[in-house]
Structure 1
Amino acid sequence: MTTRKEHLRKRKGRRRGNHRVALIIGVSAGVVFLCAAAGILVWNIFLNRPAAEDTVREYFELLNAGEYGQMYGFLSSDSQNEISEEDFVSRNQNIYEGIGASDIKVDIPEEENPSREDTETVTYTTSMNTAAGALEFKNQMTLVKNGDSDYRIDWDSTLIFPSLLTDYRVSLDTVSAKRGTIYDRNGNILASQGTVSQVGLVPGKMSENREADIQKIAEILEISAESISAALNASYVQDDTFVPLKQIPKDDTEKEEQLLQIAGVLISDAEARVYPLGEAAGHLTGYVQSITAEELEEKQTEGYTSTSVIGKSGLEAAFEDRLRAVDGIAVNVVNSAGKVIETLVSQEAHDGEDIYVTIDSSVQQTAYEQFASDRGTAAAMNPLTGEVLALVSAPGYDPNEFVMGLSDTRWNELNSSEDMPLNSRFQSTWVPGSTFKGITAAVGVESGRIIPDENLGYVGLSWQADAGWGDYYVTTLTDYGTEVNLRNALVYSDNIYFARAALNIGGDVMKDYFGKMGFGEELPFALSLQQSTYDDDGNIDSDIQLADTGYGQGRLLVNPVHLLSMYSMFVNGGNMILPVLELEEGYTPQIWKEQVVSAATAETVKNDLIQVVEDPTGTGASAKIDGVTMLGKTGTAEIKESQDDTEGIERGWFICETIDAAEKPIAVVGMVEDVKQLGGSSYVTGKVREIVEGYAGI
């Protein structure tokens, strides 16, 4: 067989145009015209025949589309005798798809007069994207004329890669990199690479009661018996093969003991992402899982591969770009002895960055323990710096379950539960109830529409602005006497006072301050938070809605973290602090909304909110901690179809903020979705008190 170099030498020695000259040499002048015309006709037919380059281009177009079977049809008869279609398809598919080849392109230098010899050699450049990065190389393809028509390819494995001989193979070798660890403010681990137990089976060591044992294992691991059987029946499995089934926590000794009683079960250590706080911080940390096909398509230019893991939610997703590990990958040509002949393309391994966040694990744990039995949320923050100390959603989920693999039963249980454990409540918005009275007070005092010491006069426990309200009345619970001023309205949580105050403030002024406080605006925070709103269309459509808004009802929806930021103006001279999650050494606190109210207004309202806790008759008196001065506000938001509805629920709230805890200032907000049968907002007040007391160390 002629070698490629011999073909190339023959081609270099050819002279262009000889065919056309032979048609006219040695003929008389009278015949020249006809011969020349005939020569032009023959030349046009010759030019219209497919060139070897056309075959090369079509072949690579099919390769780029993954049409390996059609590619085989381009091979010469001799090549097809050397390799079967099945082997050809298998070799090409395994190599190209194994290395993640895509966007395959071939560049063939243009020739002014391409030849149509029986045997042609085409030199070209191939480029493609792979799992290890972009790859480009030069190659040559020998083609033979298929009768009088088109060309067929003289194929061997070097047409895949020039150094790939028939008995060589292509390997995709990886060097694992480590995903970054997430630490809390004190260096405690929130998420890291750790050790779990990998449960698997060795088929050759299983007992004769194979089906019964599989059923036992399925029950213990909470997976289907069918999935175990399918794993055991995989084509690669031999009697001595370890067949992995599921990972379980390293400390689940009870489950390990049960499994090891079954013949053939083997448990070994494996590395996985672990979350030490479990469900106490599940919504905060989030979790990682294998990248999906859709995510890979979206991020294929960012170095992700089909084996990558990616942050799906929480901190794992928020800091994905910095936490992610980029494994080292090399596409190698390996000979039959396993020696690397050539590294075609490679990418170095890069460990992910460690991230430190402002969270305090002990506050996070305490907050979750207080709210774990309820449907609710809690958030804690240093009100002077904006550093968030805890973010809790209850009930939560254990992110370790997602990493180790959820059974269908467990997934359905989580997804269909009425308690909605997959819903991140601290990222949502809620009707704030009377906690919003502190904000209405600040707006009213700052705008001059509330005179703090002014007595608005006693109007009873049920009130409406005028007869135009029909059957609608604003009601309040406590008859605290005839001194109806701002202090008493806050201490006793008087709905009627704040409904009247809101009407005095007016809708336009109220909306102006909503804008100043960041309503309808995304809070710049590491985790996505729903925007607080006061109406779907940005309007306050009636006096009734305005009155209800004044005491935290109406169409008002507030995010808990945003509420902490609004309350921070009472200890920051009227400025709203920016909540932050990433810990930075020497951090300078940032103001999110500057001078929402004056320092004097903030001080006035702060002093009255302190009395909510300090006054023994105040609604927040049960939050009192000896030796700690703090402001606070309770809240009960009624969620019902109409004013006469007795079946509605009551959201219970409490927000507080320490005033004189110079070393460890803290603000905490807590909410339970329904406290109607639990004692109202006082049920939440006790929980929040425990969080503050635990942090203060008293």
Structure 2
Amino acid sequence: MKRQKRGMRKGKRRAGLVILLLLLLAAAGAAVWTLQGSRIRFRVQAEECLREYMAHIEKQEYKEMYDMTEAADSGSISRGDFIERNSRIYEGMETDKIKISNVKVGKVKHGEVSVSYDMSFDTVAGAVTFANTAVFVKDGDACRLRWNHDLIYPSLRSTDKVQVSVDDADRGKILDRNGRMLAGEGTAVSVGIVPGKLEDREKSLEQIAELLGTDAETIENKLSAAWVQDDSFVPVSTIPKVQQRALMEGETAGEAFKEQERQKELLNIPGVMLSDITVRTYPLAEAAAHLVGYVQEVTAEDLEEHAGEGYSAGSVIGRSGMESLYEKELKGQDGCEITIVDENGEIAETIASVEKEDGQDITLTIDASLQEQLYEQFREDPGCSVAMNPYTGEVLALVSTPSYDNNDFISGMSEEQWTGLNEDESRPLYNRFRQVWCPGSSFKPVTAAIGLDTGVLDAGEDFGNEGLSWQKDESWGAYEVTTLHSGYPANLKNALIYSDNIYFAKLALRIGADRLTENLDRLGFGKQLPFEILMAKSQYSNTDAIENEIQLADSGYGQGQILMNPLHLAALYTAFLNDGNVLAPRLSLGEKSQADIWLPQAFSEEAVDQIMEGLSGVVNHPDGTGYAAHSVSAALAGKTGTAELKDSKDDTDGTEIGWFSVFTTEKNLEKPILLVSMVENVKGLGGSGYVVQKDKEVLDVYLGR
């Protein structure tokens, strides 16, 4: 019995030991399981931290990046130094589109875990890719990044710098058809101040400001920039380079001498230095300013609008004219190299690089000499001129007067100059060849062609002599159509030669409003002209229809509410030399020589032949309104026009716009030309005759008479 009890006690002890052992094993297993789960969570957390850290880079959230590191505790780098180091490098490289891939998390050892990954991002010098490893440290429930400089780039050390070097692309030139430069590289003078050498700073700055046409405060602001030291050269203005040749030429000698004297006065001020610099220059200046345009330094808004297109602070961008139109081609692509430079200033490694691509040269159909001749003739007159090769559609000149010197935008226009340009009543900044104007009698050939092709006009029919004024009937009240000549058979030829308003008013009534507007729609009214420069659309009414008989009658001779762009008018005139086909005007020379037809068979060949008799008579008949342009050395034809602009029917003080559309008629001529000129305010100057005489001077030179 005693043995049995002792056996039972031993069994209970063994059972207790087994249970205790099982409990110990279970506790140990739970501990192992808990530790394993903690490691798994830490590994997941490390990958999440890596992705979050990289996301902060692209958002330039450097403070948040620092807060994710253990640097604050370890003292390896201060918050300020961390932010400066990262911002300088990432922003200097213009880092964008950061991606990480192929992420692999290692095993947790001693509370740390390594995460390998592949990183890629775009920079100003192209794409950068590399493999790297980050180490994360467990900090309670948090995960901290062990930051080092090689996290930015694997081979980067604390003593290294990342350097971004830019190789500026040369901007392409703008050339005329003969290779003459309209825009390109030139030399100017940079006016700079060495602050430490100024004597009596306040007085000196006042002197400098007066000579430069600015104010002392503007100059002082430049001298107060953070980077300026006493021995720094601080550029404050750009002024023209005085060429020796200009001092010897009669027309330019006076201005060149004044500029030379100004620069001598600047140099006499202690602390002022002048140095030659390369700038964009426009040799034709005022003669082609509206056509060529100008460039200016990019603004913050430009950089935002054109992000990723290769612009940076100091870049220039086309603001108007050809400089703006062909900006992408002219700009080119700057070269760039991102390198790691060691403490000795030696390049240790190249991170990324891209070769520069200079901008393309753009060759225009423009004839620079003709452009200058037209400008010189009309420089004081508010108006514009358009010249074309009537057989190819090539635009030979586009002139708007009065004008401005686009070089002033390069050298830095003073506030006084800018105010003067904007307040000038003649509006020199206004580009007149892009606008629409009342064409007056220069529109009559279009009315004639519509009349002939719709069958309502017989060119030989006499419309009857009405004297110098006429109205359809009493329903017109006091309104009458007036003309300057009478007493001849009122047929089409004479109506063009003598510019008979009454004839074309009657013709418009015959055609009818619906038929006239339908044909004008077909001739490009209300549509965009197919041309590189955006031109205002021609119109036949302020509404979408010709509203009444008087407006219809006035429209027949180019008044009423008819408004035309000068280049559109010139394009329609090409039909008279191309069997009724209207050519598309073009400005880019390229390798193409064949004309593009914009409006095929706009007029019938029969209509063209009949109208040409009258247009030839305008210039060659002694009574023709354009006879002053007559020449024995080249056959010409054309049409004058004087448009009256009145506030009301009873207005006797209205202004007049003078027109002359003239062209050579010999197809084998070496230099064929179609020229349309318009001048505002010719009342008292001889009307269209004023324009005829000026165009004659230009044609005499151009045709080599």
% identity of equivalent residues = 45
Which of 474, 481, 494 is matched with 2:500 structurally? 494
The match for 1:126 is: 119
2:262 is equivalent to residue 271 of structure 1: no
3-state SS of the aligned residue for 2:466? Answer: coil
Q: 1:50 to 1:622 in 2, by over 3 A?
A: same
Post-superposition Cα deviations, 1:207-233, rounded to whole Å, max 9, x if no partner, equal x22211111211222233122112222
2:51 pairs with 1:57 = yes
| Stretch moving more, 84-93 or 360-369 | 84-93
Q: Greater shift after overlay, 25-34 or 251-260?
A: 25-34
Amino acid at match of 1:135: V
TM-fit CA distance, 1:35: 8.6
Pairwise CA distance, 1:391: 0.6
Q: In 2 relative to 1, CA 194–614 (structure 1 residues): closer, same or farther, beyond 3 Å? A: same
Give distance in 2, aligned partners of 1:617 and 1:42: 110
CA contact (8 A) 2:468 2:486 kept: no
Q: Which runs of 4+ in 1 moved over 6 A?
A: 29-42
Whole-angstrom CA distance in 1 between matches of 2:492 and 2:41: 97
What SS class does the counterpart of residue 82 from structure 1 fall into? coil
Letter in 1 for 2:156: L
Distance 1:42 1:335 in 2: 44
Q: Is the 8 A contact 2:640 2:688 kept in 1?
A: yes
* Aligned match of 2:150: 158
Unmatched runs of 5 consecutive residues or more in structure 2: 1-18, 243-258
Query: How many Å separate the matches in 2 of 1:650 and 1:51?
Result: 82
Equivalent position amino acid for 2:413 in 1: L
Q: 2:375 aligns with which of 363, 368, 381?
A: 368
SS of corresponding position for 2:336: strand
Compare 82-91 and 25-34 and name the one that shifted more: 25-34
> 1:73: which partner in 2?
67
User: Which structure's CA Rg is the greater one?
Assistant: 2
Decide whether aligned partners of structure 1 residues 41 and 157 sit closer, same or farther in structure 2, where only a CA change above 3 A counts.
closer
Q: Mark the CA change 1:438 to 1:258 in structure 2 (over 3 Å): closer, same or farther.
A: farther
Q: Single out whichever of 130-139 and 360-369 deviates more from structure 2.
A: 130-139
Q: Aligned letter for 2:552?
A: L
Contact 1:52 1:150 in 2 (8 A): no
Higher mean alpha-carbon deviation, 560-569 vs 505-514, is at 505-514
Counterpart in the other structure of 1:611:
617
CA contact (8 A) 2:214 2:414 kept: yes
- In the alignment, is the contact (CA less than 8 A) between 1:52 and 1:116 conserved in 2? no
Query: 1:527 matched to which residue of 2?
Result: 533
Paired with 1:235 and 1:359, the residues of 2 have a C-alpha distance of: 47
Q: Paired residue for 1:195, among 183, 187, 210? A: 187
How far apart are residue 620 of structure 1 and its match? 1.5
Once residues 20 and 237 of structure 2 are traced to their aligned partners in structure 1, the CA distance between those partners, rounded to angstroms, is: 87
Aligned partners of 2:672, 2:428: CA distance in 1, in Å? 30
Per-residue CA deviations over 1:387-420 (Å, capped at 9, x if unaligned) read: 2111101111211111222223322322343322
Give the distance between the partners of 1:349 and 1:268, measured in 2 at CA. 27
Range 556-565 or range 503-512, more displaced = 503-512
Equivalent residue for 2:245?
none
Change in 2 beyond 3 A, CA 1:49/1:126: closer
Partner residue, 2:239: 248
Give the AA of the match of 1:648: G
Deviation at 1:124, TM superposition (A): 2.4
Question: C-alpha deviations, 1:155-174, integer Å up to 9, x for none?
Answer: 22222222221111111112
C-alpha offsets along residues 42-68 of structure 1, whole Å, 9 cap, x if unaligned? 959974997122222222222211122
Query: Which whole-Å deviations, capped at 9, do the CAs of 1:13-43 have from their partners, x for residues lacking one?
Result: xxxxxxxxxxxx9864999699979968995
Aligned-pair Cα RMSD in Å: 2.7
Q: Deviations over 1:493-516 (max 9, x none)?
A: 222211110111122322232233
Deviations 1:428-449 (A, max 9, x none): 1111111101111122122222
Q: Deviations over 1:660-698 (max 9, x none)?
A: 371111111111122223332222222222221120121
SS state at 1:300 partner: coil
Q: Residue type matched to 1:671 in 2?
A: M
Return the letter of the residue paired with 2:210.
E
List aligned pairs for 1:275-294, cutoff 5 A: 275-294=282-301
Deviates more, 1:549-558 or 1:40-49: 40-49
1:234 to 200, 225, 228: 225
Q: Which amino acid aligns with 2:610?
A: T
- Is the Cα contact below 8 Å between 1:577 and 1:591 reproduced in 2? yes
TM-score (norm 1): 0.90
Check 1:503–1:37 CA distance in 2 against 1; reply closer, same or farther (3 A cut).
farther
State the shift of 1:276 in Å. 0.4
Alpha carbons 2:646, 2:653 under 8 Å: kept: yes
- Find out whether 1:639 has 2:631 as its counterpart: no
1:295, CA displacement in angstroms? 3.5
Q: Map of 1:210-359 to 2, 5 A cutoff?
A: 210-251=201-242, 252-359=259-366
Verify: 1:571 aligned to 2:571, yes or no: no
Q: Decide whether aligned partners of structure 1 residues 78 and 418 sit closer, same or farther in structure 2, where only a CA change above 3 A counts.
A: same
The aligned residue for residue 648 of structure 1 is: 654
1:107–1:114 Cα change, 3 Å: farther
Once the two structures are TM-superposed, the CA of residue 378 in structure 1 deviates from its matched residue by 0.7
Residues 42 and 143, structure 2, Cα contact 8 Å, conserved in 1 = no
Aligned to 1:481: 487
- Cα distance, 1:298 vs structure 2: 3.9
